[in-house]
């Protein structure tokens, strides 16, 4: 059994950390014997464990007692690393200096190590110069800046703890965020912001379309970001507008059914209120945020989505700031789908520190707003669904990849080749860490003037070849909730589901058992992760399943 000793203000962060690193643990109880104890900010005097991890950026009495020097570092300039990863730290950071063994895997740019290992009798103490649970709280509550968007920081923290346990031959069981039979989870989602170009005439959307489809297309051709064929498609789209307004030709922005052909599972987020812009945190109304379609205009497409077992969620307007409005928006979509569980993503990704609590109170199953407008990556530092602090049921399914972030000139402004390189890096991360990759491709992004359909088709094909479970966002939320229900016996093993109810259609859960042994080859190499000896079985059966790679 693993125990955690930490200050009261970080107990919630510790609890959520061990939902992401799903192993047997408990808060430290004096007099109990443990396999390992993780201390953050405090160290009990009567620890009975062979391994103790001590996290703190400030000097502790333990440091003075064992002649450790704690040298404060500027975390805004000093960036620690763990093996091949750079590891941003958002709170206090310190180098730990002693005459004992340096834990070189966790290093800084200075000549000093961020972590040090010392022996005290039969016990091993690993002293690490930051506060783990303060970092987790910061990431899940405030998020990280765009310059570190590419770093799944919480997954690295989990890897550090896991590898230390394995290196010190501590036996434990883990339920990894990897569904049985797959390498990771992918949700293909679509924010429906426009739906039909005939809804727009002499407004900002139409003027932007005309510019980007004509002059913008020619410029992108010169920059190698569009082909001659795509430029021709855009110019033909401009010439077809009169016939579209006369309803002689079909509207080329009404493409929701096309996603049903491209996707293996689809989630669409629909704005329930036509012409409502909502308000900003300061009370301002941004007219451009209002949509021009109403739900009746989408009825045929929505029926087709539901017939193909797709999901329809709320693309919220005021739900992020007002519980009553959140409940109204949920009920409007619920009346269409007749589904008791509805998810939400806020339009323009509006969100603040109180939004999760309001959405939870309004009865949403999940939110998928926590992400970046300007880049792609891990705003919350994780590849996993998590429960925001202060909520009772809501899960946050972070947004990782958005089309406009990849291609818009005001954002990353990447070529298709550059964008696919970014995606490849994220797929590699998912293979290593597991979890959920959340993709948002807007409703009109596979139509003129954007024409990001070829890239999207290639993206879906790449993900399919990676051995993923494609599912709706609601299915992903149910799978992660099922994983959170796993409990462990009092001896730290014998994992079981707290609920006996079945979840039809969901992949099983893996139980990964680390036996307190490690492979002799390459375990100590600084530039590669520990290669532990473990076995895996399905939670609800004894059948051995293939080891994840």
Q: What is the DSSP pairing of strand 266-270 with strand 184-192? A: parallel
Q: What is the pLDDT of residue 541?
A: 45
The position carrying tokens 């434990």 is 172
What distance, in Å, lies between the first and last C-alpha atoms of the chain?
26
Q: What is the pLDDT of residue 546?
A: 42
Model confidence band, residue 517 (pLDDT cutoffs 50, 70, 90) = low
Q: What is the pLDDT of residue 528?
A: 41
Model confidence band, residue 205 (pLDDT cutoffs 50, 70, 90) = very high
179 and 479 Cβ atoms separated by less than 8 Å: yes
Query: What DSSP designation does 216 have?
Result: I
Q: What is the pLDDT of residue 466?
A: 97
Q: What is the pLDDT of residue 315?
A: 98
Sheet order of strands, 510-518 included: 172-174, 510-518, 532-538
Question: If DSSP codes are grouped into helix, strand and coil, which group holds residue 200?
Answer: coil
Structure-token pair, residue 133:
């649970």
* Candidate ranges 277-286, 351-360, 493-502; pick with highest mean pLDDT: 351-360
Q: In angstroms, rounded to a whole number, what is the distance separating the alpha carbons of residues 36 and 45?
A: 15
Structure-token pair, residue 56:
């703190």
In 281-345, where does DSSP find H-type helix? Answer: 299-307, 323-337
Q: What is the pLDDT of residue 505?
A: 83
Q: Which residues contact 335 (CB under 8 A, 6 or more apart)?
A: none
376 and 402 Cβ atoms separated by less than 8 Å: yes
Q: What is the pLDDT of residue 256?
A: 95
Distance of CA 177 to the CA centre of its chain: 12
Question: If DSSP codes are grouped into helix, strand and coil, which group holds residue 325?
Answer: helix
CA-to-CA dists, residue 7 to 90, 134, 149, 227, angstroms: 18, 10, 29, 58
Q: In angstroms, rounded to a whole number, what is the distance separating the alpha carbons of residues 199 and 216?
A: 22
List the one residue out of 171, 68, 45 whose CA is nearest residue 118: 68
CA-to-CA dists, residue 165 to 36, 51, 158, 487, 530, angstroms: 8, 8, 11, 20, 10
Q: In angstroms, rounded to a whole number, what is the distance separating the alpha carbons of residues 380 and 273?
A: 29
> Rounded to the nearest 5°, which phi and psi values hold at 173?
-115, 145
Greatest C-alpha distance within the chain: 86
Structure-token pair, residue 527:
């530039």
Strand partners, 176: none
Q: What is the pLDDT of residue 78?
A: 72
List the one residue out of 245, 295, 237 whose CA is nearest residue 270: 295
What residue ranges define each of the domains in the chain, with the CATH number in brackets?
2-174 (3.40.50), 185-196+253-479 (3.20.20.370), 199-251 (no CATH)
The position carrying tokens 């391994």 is 51
Q: What is the pLDDT of residue 166?
A: 93
Model confidence band, residue 532 (pLDDT cutoffs 50, 70, 90) = low
Strand partners, 544: 537
- Per DSSP, the chain holds a count of helices (H) and strands (E) of 15, 26
Q: Considering the entire predicted model, what is its pTM?
A: 0.92
């Amino acid at each position: 059994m693993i125990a955690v000793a930490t200050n009261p203000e970080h107990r919630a962060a510790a609890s959520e950390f061990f939902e992401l690193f799903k192993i047997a643990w408990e808060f430290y109880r004096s007099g109990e014997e443990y396999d390992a104890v993780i201390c953050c900010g405090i160290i009990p005097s009567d620890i009975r464990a062979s391994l103790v991890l001590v996290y703190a950026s400030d000097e502790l009495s333990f440091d003075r007692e064992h002649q450790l020097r704690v040298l404060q570092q500027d975390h805004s300039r000093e960036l620690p690393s763990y093996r091949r990863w750079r590891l941003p730290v958002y709170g206090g950071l310190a180098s730990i200096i002693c005459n004992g063994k340096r834990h070189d895997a966790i290093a800084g740019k200075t000549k000093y190590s961020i972590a040090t290992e010392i022996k005290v009798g039969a016990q091993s103490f690993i002293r690490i110069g930051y506060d783990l649970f303060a970092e987790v709280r910061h990431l899940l509550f405030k998020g990280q800046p765009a310059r570190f968007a590419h770093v799944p920081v919480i997954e690295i923290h989990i890897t550090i703890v896991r590898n230390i346990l394995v290196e010190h031959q501590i036996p434990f069981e883990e339920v990894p965020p990897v569904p049985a039979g797959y390498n990771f989870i992918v949700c293909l989602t679509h924010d429906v912001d426009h739906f039909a170009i005939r809804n727009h005439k002499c407004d900002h959307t139409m003027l932007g379309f005309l510019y980007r489809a004509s002059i913008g297309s020619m410029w992108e051709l010169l920059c190698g970001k569009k082909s001659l064929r795509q430029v021709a498609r855009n110019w033909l789209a401009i010439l077809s507008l009169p016939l579209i307004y006369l309803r002689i030709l079909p509207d080329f922005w009404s493409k929701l059914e096309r996603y049903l052909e491209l996707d293996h599972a689809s989630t669409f987020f629909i704005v329930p209120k036509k012409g409502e812009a909502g308000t900003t945190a300061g009370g301002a109304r941004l007219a451009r945020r209002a949509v021009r379609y109403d739900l009746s205009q989408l009825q045929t497409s929505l029926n087709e989505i539901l017939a193909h077992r797709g999901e329809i969620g709320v693309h919220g307007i005021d739900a992020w700031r007002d519980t009553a409005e959140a409940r109204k928006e949920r009920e409007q979509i619920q009346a269409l789908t007749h589904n008791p569980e509805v998810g939400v993503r806020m339009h323009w990704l509006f969100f603040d520190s109180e939004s999760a609590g309001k959405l939870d109170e309004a009865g949403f199953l999940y939110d998928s707003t926590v992400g970046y407008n300007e880049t792609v990556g891990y705003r919350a530092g994780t590849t996993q669904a998590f429960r925001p602090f202060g909520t009772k049921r809501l899960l946050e399914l972070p947004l990782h990849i958005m089309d406009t972030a990849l291609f818009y000139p005001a954002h990353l402004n990447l070529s298709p080749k550059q964008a696919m390189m970014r995606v490849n890096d994220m797929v590699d991360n998912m293979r290593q860490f597991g979890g959920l990759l959340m993709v948002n491709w807007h409703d009109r992004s596979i139509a003129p003037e954007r024409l990001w359909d070829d890239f999207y088709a290639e993206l879906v094909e790449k993900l399919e070849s990676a051995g993923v479970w494609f599912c709706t966002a609601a299915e992903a939320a149910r799978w992660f909730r099922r994983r959170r229900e796993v409990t462990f016996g009092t001896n730290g093993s014998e994992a079981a589901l707290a609920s006996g109810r079945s979840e039809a259609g969901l992949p099983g859960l893996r139980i990964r058992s680390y036996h307190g042994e490690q492979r002799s080859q390459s375990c100590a190499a600084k530039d590669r992760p520990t290669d532990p000896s473990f076995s895996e079985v399905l939670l609800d059966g004894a059948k051995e399943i293939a080891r994840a790679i």
